[in-house]
Structure 1
Amino acid sequence: MVVQGRGRRARRAGLVGAMWATAELTVTVGVVMLLLVVHQVWWTNRQAAAAAQEQVRSLERDWAMERARDDGPPSSDAPGPSLPSSSPSSSAAAPAPAPSGRAAGSRPGAEPSGARDRAYAVLRIPRLGLVVPVAQGIDKRAVLDKGYAGHYPGTAGPGAQGNFALAGHRNTHGEPFRYINRLRAGDELIVDMRGRRYTYVVGKILGETTERDTGVIAPVPRSVVKPQHGYGEPGAYITLTTCTPEYSSKYRLVVWGTLRP
């Protein structure tokens, strides 16, 4: 009987030990998963947003230096305008908008030079306080995960006839398009390029469509899933697309605007 009692105690101790080890493993896995979520949602967000803003500043510095070179040195017999500083602020470095929404002598829709995934423009949405670089292409790692807005290949360039279509993350990696659902008709979408500015005005919003609804980025944008949403005549359009609902990639949210004449 003594031997049997010891056996039961040993089995009970072994069961308790196994349960304790399982609990420790569960807690450890939970902590690791939590850290991964924090890294994905918070840390990558901060990294991408900071890098994107630095890219905006870099573009604006380059543009300011080019304007200074184009202006040339001031005349010796008359005080000329002050040259931009070597580290201009975002507002000072931004190109001044032309009254018509485009700079004189500009060529709307010109193909930007450089690598396909390199930022070449800046999108500003005053209502949201958003300033984000625009790069060619919608590759996730090379463009979108950097916190950039990606220019859909094959769609029109800024200021051109057709549809200048952009994609951006709604959550994580800088989430530049997180709040585009807050845009309303009449809000401005401003696109700055080297020496040029194009101002679009929000006209229509499609709250939800499928990821395969390619009609929303067509030259004359109109949903093929919900044909009552979109436009019917040629023009100069801008399209913003992102995932919806938040923290999901099941559907797409679409905002359309037209170039201000």
Structure 2
Amino acid sequence: MTPRDASEPFGNRWSDLDRPPLNVSALRRGLVREGTLWSRVEVVQRTGSTNSDLVAWAAEGRAGEGTVLVAEEQTAARGRLDRQWTAPARSGLFFSVLLTPREVPVARWGWLPLLTGVAVATGLSRAAGVDTALKWPNDVLVTVDGEERKTGGILAEGAGEGGVVVGVGINVSLRADELPVPTAGSLALAGAVNTDRDPLLRGMLRALEEWYGRWRAAGGDASACGLQETYAAGCATLGRMVRAELPGERSMVGEAVAVDGDGRLVIATKEGVQEPVGAGDIVHLRSV
């Protein structure tokens, strides 16, 4: 997919004034500066998956750390375990970033999607004025009509030696009749005071830069940089009874009591055993 300035005219399909295109020039001016993490911002009108594209760019040597790829529309967006994510064009923010935390032990890279969740929640709270919560390991929740709804998801994928691509999808202006499933939500439906995608994207990326810098400076120690405590404070999963569905049709039921130093969810079973489970071990995590 060839990058293109999303502020350029693109025909009748972009005539919805309620959903203006992103201003890539302004995004670059606000984010790409000397001494900052973000080295490059590209916006494409339509692609299958920004994660897949950025992984390919990294493999081809066409992208370095701090590259941000944003799509106005994704046709083959994926969540964990290749679950599909669909939304109308320009109704959300669909972007991926390339990170290369080579000074951090690989064993601690599992914190990257959780770190991104904290950054997304922080950025949306500041820029959209909406309360968010995090469902372990990768969902962003908002409250719509008194119910928790998923408004976003996060997916981290390896990008060759020493690199990770982290993708984020956030429903911004979706109306009720556009939701893919009844349990989905959007910032607009949650009463956000601002649904202008430019400041929302800048807010999330600046918060991500801040948390990534802290985590990297601490050698990936989530406790030392305050990430573990902050994630736990915003995690709606903790304190609830959950059923963890595991590979091989196995399951575990218990109370989610903590997120450990490796980013795993600790479940206290009725037998009195505390079992940590990693994101890669979970097929589904449901409230009981």
> What TM-score bracket applies, with the shorter chain setting the length?
under 0.3
> TM-score, normalised to structure 1's length?
0.28
More strand by share: 2
> TM-score, normalised to structure 2's length?
0.26
Instruction: Report which of the two structures shows the higher radius of gyration computed on alpha carbons.
Output: 1
Return the structure number with greater relative CO, CA threshold 8 A, min gap 6. Answer: 1
